[in-house]
Structures are given as structure tokens and as C-alpha cells.
Amino acid sequence: MKTSAKARTAAAVLGLAAALTLGAALIPGDRPAPAPAAARVELGETPVSAVSLDGAIKALTARLRRLPADHLAWARLGSAHIQRARVTGDPSYYPRAEEALARATALSPGDPEVLTGLASLAAGRHEFAEAVRLARSSVAANPYGQGAHAVLADAYTQLGRYGEATRAVDRMMELRPGVVAFTRASYDAELRGDRTMARRMLEHALSDAFSPDDVAYCRHYLGELALHSGDLRGAAEQYRLALEAAPGFVPALAGNARAAALDGRTTEAIDRYATVVARLPLAQYVVEYAEVLAAAGRDPSEQWSLLRAQRSLTREAGVLDDLTWAEYEADHGSPALAVTHARAEYARNPNVVAADALAWALHRDGRSREALPYARKATATGWRNALLLHHRAEIERALGMATEARRSAARARAANPSFSPGLPALARLS
């Protein structure tokens, strides 16, 4: 008997909340966000896998049974739970992290490692201003702790404070040039439109990588750079090498699905997205899968149901995510609701992607004149992001700004000849 759509969705939600904690994916826990668009920030210093995290959590728990006053063990347990949330996509680990870090704080409130853990938790919940405050306190206590500078780099980026983000990255490079610093330097360069430097920094990171997870991560983002510049073949090769290093690395599986969809291999893309979402139903992957299904004339409603269920789980775990819903409502739902979500996101985190989300929501709601200043801000850093440039072109076209619209559309094509306006989510990761 066929499984009903409702049952499949329920199973997927259960997988997000519980089964994924068994380690279906390997995502290093010390990397910057895939992009502000997804507002996922991954922080820390040591690359980890789901399996190694399980071992660390068990060892720390056993130690704390014997030494319950060990504040560093509590702080490290909290950090392990934060990374576990990122590895599995399960936000229920954040309350566990909060509890462990509260114990650490009670024992040693000014310890820099405790403060860094608290900053990382705030960033994981998208409370980036609070993450900056806590990370700066950690730096004041220990100017040489790279983890706090990593939090600062990521949080400043999410807050749209790009100069401060660059300074935090530079400090990381001074302290310890390695995979953690190089990958952040790559993203910083990409945001400024310097793809050559972004690629060079990732190549430096790759040459410094030693664990399979590190290698897979670097290969994956080399693939993303290729994909978003229109080089689908080059992207597929990098994703292949990532999976060769770490066969369970879900971001590379998603990259392959993305490349297949953009290359017109729709059936292959759908099959691959089904695997990706079954393993790790992150909002980004669910939306991509739904868009590819819809483009193929198939019903995406099951994926939209999963996305709504995921929203409830993240909200219960204290994670703020208006960005996902601003983008979803603007492209697939109510533009008026999109404006509400986008305004809330932009008020907290006025970065270029939040500016783009607000611009596009206003435009879709028939308010293109209000949208234009935000579209200009979204494209002001030089980031060669075809989606943002396409949105600006559409807004300019709606306002009768024909010359400007042609210029923005040409910039979008030059940035990524493979960009598909009908599959916007596939252009959101970087």
C-alpha cells in the first residue's frame, strides 16, 4: 500500500526532530554560513562530524557526572550541542546547549570559552546583535581566542556591518591562518565581488585541510563558486570530489541536485533532492526541491507542508527566521505577508540579503517605488549574485527605468549565465 503524503510529511518532520540526530549528514561545525540568504551561521574552531560529536557529548557527560563543577566541560558540552544542531538540522539541541551553558556561566561567568559558547548559541538562534556583544566580551577576556573572532565575523556579516566583519576575518588570519580563517576570507571576498580572491582563499583552505570533512567542505564551496558563475560542469566536478572525500556530505549531494536542475536534467534532480531532503530537511533544501517539482509540473504541496512543520520546530527552539518566510511568501504565497516578514528581518539584520528580500516583497506587493532603495542597497557591495541583480532589474523595469533595467539584467547574466528566474531558491546559496 502506498504511503500517504501526510504520512510521508510526518515521517520527514520526525526525521528532522529526532532521526537526523543519528548522524545522517556530515557538516563541519566551524564554518561560516552558506550564505546570508539562508541565515545559517556555523561557528567554532574544530571540524567535527556527527559521529565525533556523539563521542564528544558522551565523554563530556560522563566527565560531568564525576566533576559537576567543571565549567569548561559544561561550556564544551554546550558548544557540542550547538554544533549538533547544525550537523543534524535539529533545532531541539539549542535548548540543551542553553542549559549546559547556563551551568557553565553560573560556575564561571567571565570565562572566555563560556562567553564564546553563549555567543555561538545566540548566533545559532539568529540573535546576531547579542552574539556580537558576547563575542566582544570574550575577546576582551582573551584577545587570542579564534572562536570569538569567528563569531564576530559571521555575526557582523549578518548585521550588514561588512567593514567590521572584514576586520574580524583579518584578525583570524593573523591569529591562525587555516581552514576556518580562509573560508571566511573567501566569503568576505565574494561579498565584495572578488571571485578570483574568493576562489584563491578556498584553494588555500583546501591545501590546509586534512580531515575528510574539511576537504569535502572546501570542495563543496569551490563547487558553489563555479555553479553561481554559470560553470555547471566545473561545479559538478567539485561536488564529485567532495563526495569522494566524505560520501555522506549532504551539501555536496544538494549541489549535485542543483546543478542537475539548472542543466535541464530534471528527473535526475528530483531524485537527488528526494535523497537530500530525506537525509537533511533544511528549509533551503525543501524550498529548492519544491521549486524543481513545480517547474516539472509535479505537486510540491508535500514539501510546503514539511517547510511549515519545520517552521514550528525552529520557533519552539527559539530560532528567529523571518528571512525564509519572506522569501517563501514573496515567491510562492502572500506578498503582503512577505513584506511583514521581510521588514522584521531587515530591522534585526540589515544585510544585503535582507535588503533584497524586502525589496522583492515590496515589488511583489505592487510597491516597486518603495522597493527600489532596498534593491540598490542589496547590490551595493559588488556581490555578483544573479538573483539580487535580477530582482533589481525587475523592479527597475516596473518603474519604467528601461536603461537601468537592461543594465541590471545584463549584470545578472554576466554574473551567472545559468541563472533561472523560475528557480530562485537555487541561486540563494553561495
Q: Taking residues 195-215, what's their average pLDDT?
A: 94
99-154 pLDDT, tens digit per residue, is 999 999 999 999 999 999 999 999 999 999 999 999 999 999 999 989 999 999 99
Q: Tell me which of 86 and 342 has the higher pLDDT.
A: 342
Report the chain's mean pLDDT, rounded to a whole number. Answer: 88
398-419 pLDDT, tens digit per residue, is 999 999 999 999 999 999 999 9
360-399 pLDDT, tens digit per residue, is 999 999 999 999 999 999 999 999 999 999 999 999 999 9
Among residues 137, 82, 80, 77, the alpha carbon closest in space to that of 112 is found at 137
Distance (Å, whole) CA 172 – CA 187: 14
233-248 pLDDT, tens digit per residue, is 999 999 999 999 999 8
Examine the pLDDT at 315 and tell me if it is beyond 70. Answer: yes
Examine the pLDDT at 84 and tell me if it is beyond 80. Answer: yes
Ramachandran class of 111: left when φ > 0, alpha when ψ lies in -120 to 50, beta otherwise: beta
> What pLDDT, on a 0 to 100 scale, did the predictor assign at position 51?
53
The set of cell numbers assigned to 395 is 523592479
AA letter at 124: G
Rounded to an integer, what is the distance from CA 16 to the centroid of its chain? 17
AA letter at 268: E
Examine the pLDDT at 21 and tell me if it is beyond 80. Answer: no
> What pLDDT, on a 0 to 100 scale, did the predictor assign at position 54?
81
Which pLDDT band holds residue 88 (cuts at 50, 70, 90)?
A: confident
The set of cell numbers assigned to 363 is 515589488
Residue 209: burial class (beta carbons within 10 Å; 0-12, 13-18, 19+): buried
> What pLDDT, on a 0 to 100 scale, did the predictor assign at position 50?
52
For residue 99, give Cα distances in angstroms to 137, 206, 208, 241: 20, 36, 35, 39
> What pLDDT, on a 0 to 100 scale, did the predictor assign at position 430?
54
Q: Taking residues 146-166, what's their average pLDDT?
A: 96
Examine the pLDDT at 96 and tell me if it is beyond 50. Answer: yes
Q: Are 219 and 200 in contact (CB under 8 A)?
A: no
Examine the pLDDT at 46 and tell me if it is beyond 50. Answer: no
Q: Could you give the count of Cα atoms lying within 13 Å of 373 in the half-sphere of its Cβ?
A: 2
Among residues 36, 15, 150, the alpha carbon closest in space to that of 83 is found at 150
Examine the pLDDT at 32 and tell me if it is beyond 90. Answer: no
Q: Taking residues 205-212, what's their average pLDDT?
A: 93
